[in-house]
Amino acid sequence: MEHTKLRVLLVEDSPDDADLILSELTEGGLSIDSTRVDSADDMKAALSGADWDVVLSDYNLPGFSAQEALELLQASGKDVPFIIVSGFVGDEAAVAMMKAGAHDFVIKGSMARLVPAVNRELSEAETRRRYALSRTALQKSETRFRALAANIPGMVFQLLLEDSTLRFPYVSEGCQGLFGISPRTLQDNPELLLDMIVAEDRPSYIESLDASATNLTTLDWEGRVCIGSGKETKWINVKAGPRRGSGNGIMWDGITTDITATKVAEIRIKQSEQQLRQLSSHVETLKEDERARVSREIHDDLGGTLTAIKMDLMWFASKLPQRSKGLLTKIASIDRLVDHAIEASVRIAAGLRPGILDCGIVAAIQWQTREFQERTGIKCKIHGTEEEITLSPDAAIAVFRIFQETLTNISKHASASVINIELKQVDGLFLLEVSDNGRGIRDVDRSKPSSFGIRGMLERSRELNGQIKISGVPGHGTKVSLCVPLGSQDASNQEFEHQHRLF
């Protein structure tokens, strides 16, 4: 390291020797700003009054010495290179001075070493200064980190996996509040964490840790721990990023947080959703039962009454003489009204619950398709099995209602001219697909707050442990695919995607 400006404190009683030293430094390319002292008082004043880059000291001065000068420099607390520039000094004295803290020793008869020695010591002094600054900055950073970690709601930690052994190099004070044990206790007994994890959740924790170590992916695990001999159970989340440590070790830096409140709220929300689904299912069951009851009463009571009225009208007409044309005409008009009422009662009863459902879901879908085509004029094609597919009565009604809602949506929104309907029974699953050539449903259409029809279809499919998929391409139609298990198994996503490709 080359210095072009030096503040030199000379501890020298000889002005000639001082000039010689300064001349040597100047000839070595250094610009000097110097002060000469030759007593302890002068040196104390010089050290307190200015900062120096280097101290060059003679060994022996009248009433003063290099040993005393070095002690004064050290007492000032300043890290300044101290180089002895003197005549011959014994080896023992030189060694003693170096042990005491002098940085170098230059013989006045060999001044060629002076400039290199000064440059070297200045470079080392700069290195020490930078190291001190770095160490101070590191200490401040560590202090801030510990203060931050202590106030984070959770436990900040470092976890090291080395030679198949886990240990905690660092654990924050949050350990006490989270687990009820001190950080040192967990560091001394790393296995305590695994012991606290609930037995049912322990395998998933080990699996997540192994996967993170193998793939160097983020560890993100949720599970339960028992605190204080199992008296308290908490939900925790462990999230940490892995990195390669020394050798083959893996180091995780992360945080463990208490998510009990969030998890309890989540569980309660799920329970509430399940209760709402059960209530919705119960309401739908009651509604279908009521529809069936009203349909039967319309068919049996109202239909029977209308039929009896028609028969009485026929009897009454047969008793009137042919000349009573006015009465016969009125009876004929009433008879037509009764026929219309009978047709309306049949139509209303069928709308409430088609009797064709008693013949099976395939027959019901075929009947509903014909009715829809006659009513709307939209061409409908049915493909697939002609054989009956056995569904439970409740499942058949739910599938039929989903099919009805699908046709209703097409007639209202799709502007379609052709509908293709496919029925299949594959590997214990009932598959229904309805596609049209209309404008195509958009994502925004599915997410509208008023899309109760689609929500009802989704809810009915959940009640059946089934899956429903509604997809569309603007200008190229919409496709509704329904997959329902015939037995007790669920129509999982994987099965659904596989069966969906069969259409």
Q: pLDDT of 4-48, one tens digit each?
A: 578 999 999 989 889 999 999 998 888 889 999 999 999 999 999
Judged by phi (left if over 0) then psi (alpha if -120 to 50, else beta), residue 163 lies in: left
Q: Which amino acid is at 354?
A: P
CATH number at residue 116: 3.40.50.2300
pLDDT tens column, 156-176: 999 999 888 999 999 998 899
- The verdict on residue 344 lying in a domain is yes
Least confident of 217-226, 269-278, 358-367: 269-278
Is residue 146 a part of any domain in this protein?
Answer: no
Residue 450 has pLDDT above 70, yes or no: no
Identify the CA nearest to 484 among candidates 457, 445, 454. 457
Which of 83, 98, 132 delimits the end of a domain?
132
Alpha carbon distances (Å) from 465 to 186, 437, 459, 487, 488:
46, 29, 10, 10, 9
**Average per-residue pLDDT in the chain?**
84
Q: What pLDDT score does 494 carry?
A: 45
Query: Are residue 277 and residue 340 in the same domain, yes or no?
Result: yes
Of the candidates 325, 352, 379, which is a domain's last residue?
352
- Residue of 17, 9, 114 lying closest to 60 (CA atoms): 17
Q: Say if residue 491 is in the same domain as residue 371.
A: yes
Domain identity same for 365 and 455: yes
State residue 447 phi and psi, 5-degree precision.
-95, 5
For the residues 202-230, what does the mean pLDDT come to?
92
Q: Which residues contact 1 (CB under 8 A, 6 or more apart)?
A: 119, 122, 123, 126
- Tokens, residue 472: 């569309």
For 443-449, which contacts have Cβ atoms below 8 Å and span 24 or more sequence positions? Answer: 445/413, 446/470
Among residues 101, 132, 163, which one ends one of the domains?
132
Do 176 and 274 share a domain, yes or no? Answer: no
**Residues facing 162 on adjacent strands:** 165
Give the residue among 363, 318, 359, 314 at the shortest CA–CA distance from 334. 314
Do 348 and 361 lie in one domain? The reply is no
Q: pLDDT per residue over 310-368, tens digit each?
A: 888 888 888 888 777 788 888 888 888 988 888 888 778 767 767 777 788 888 889 88
The reply to whether 184 and 244 lie within a common domain is yes
Least confident of 223-227, 343-347, 408-412, 430-434: 343-347
Are residue 201 and residue 274 in the same domain, yes or no? no
pTM score of the predicted model: 0.47
Number of structural domains in the chain? 4
Query: Residue 445: which domain range?
Result: 356-500
503, 472, 273, 491: which is closest to 399 by C-alpha?
491
